[in-house]
Amino acid sequence: MRRILNFFLGNTVRLLFWFYILIALGLSAQNQMYFSAAYLNTSNRITGSTHGFFNGISRYFSLQSENDFLQQQNRVLQQQLAQLPYPPDSLYKTKKNFSYISGEIIKNSFTAKDNYLTLSLGAEDSVSPDMGVVNEKGIIGIITHSGKKFSRVQSILNSQSRINAKIKGSDFFGGLVWDGKLPNVVQLIDVPNLAQISVGDTIVSGGMSAIFPDQLPIGTIKNFELTQAKDYYLISVRLFNDMQNIGRVYVIENQLRTAIEDIENQSNE
């Protein structure tokens, strides 16, 4: 008994070290497994507000470019409005029942292997996990956790991300993943070798999931090769989006999602 006591008393630093390491590993595993504790990410009210405050200051200095961008976007939208075959009051709702909520990215990261963004919208704004986040140039990520006022977005630049995508004008689908190397290049995998592809072809969202609508822009083919088994392509995709500079975004809400998931669950049973 005395020996055990002496061991503990003589190794308090080592024991404390392992105690802290175990806590840290536990927190890390919890977060990896998606049961993310609200206090350990930036969708938390305190951290979200602090990021929001500093983001507000830095955005102030880019007001001119923001203004130019909005004017340009307004012009493009007015041109599209003039060419619409259906009445303007259906603008906010697409045919497939996707509605859009406007927000802003207040914390961005793209240098890590698993990148997360913080969004200025939360449960109060009807934002919930598994909603898609896009901007006018394409897909940005998927919401993994939503606090009261802020949400955490899993960027497409994240090793856990896998988004359904296809080659525009064809029905060859694949999964969009990221190898963690370049922040403007992602990989499209599992596209069958029957697909006719060439460098410069456009990649769009596949619409096979209830998160993103069909035909959202993603990027263009930078280069491609066949896998070792020669049955699938491994395609490098240059993103339209500049992931290093994201400001205004839209959260996509699929109003039919519950209905789709219900029917899918029933067929699985």
CA distance 162 to 135: 18
Q: Is 97 left (phi over 0), alpha (psi -120 to 50) or beta?
A: left
> Among residues 118, 151, 161, 205, which is the contact residue for another protein, using CB under 8 A?
118
* Binding to another protein, residues 43-72 (CB under 8 A): 44, 47, 50-51, 54, 58
33 contributes a contact to another protein by CB under 8 A: no
Q: Write the binding mask 156 to 195 for another protein: x where contact by CB under 8 A, - elsewhere.
A: ------------------------xx-x------------
Strand 151-158 to 217-226 pairing? unpaired
Instruction: Give me the least distance between CB of 193 and another protein, in Å please.
Output: 24
Comparison of 187 and 202: residue with beta carbon closer to another protein: 187
Q: Give the DSSP H/E element, type plus range, for residue 23.
A: helix 12-32
Residue 132 interacts with another protein (CB under 8 A): yes or no: no
25 interacts with another protein by CB under 8 A: yes
Of 152, 156, 178, 221, the one binding another protein (CB under 8 A) is 152
Instruction: Check binding of 28 to another protein (CB under 8 A).
Output: yes
Question: Least separation, in Å, of the C-beta of 137 and another protein?
Answer: 18
CB of 230 to another protein, least distance (A): 21
Q: Scanning residues 188 to 247, which ones bind another protein (CB under 8 A)?
A: 244
Angstrom distance (rounded) from CA 243 to CA 222: 17
**From residue 209, how far is each of 6, 157, 165, 173, 261 by CA, in Å?**
60, 19, 10, 12, 10
Residues in Cβ contact with 199 at an 8 Å cutoff, skipping those fewer than 6 apart: 221, 222, 223, 224
**Residue 185: how many CB atoms within 10 A of its CB?**
16
What lies within 8 Å, CB to CB, of 183 at 6+ separation is 110, 111, 157, 243, 244
**Residues at the site binding another protein, with contacts judged by CB under 8 A:** 12-13, 16-17, 20-21, 23-25, 27-28, 31-32, 39-42, 44, 47, 50-51, 54, 58, 107, 109-114, 116, 118, 152, 180-181, 183, 244
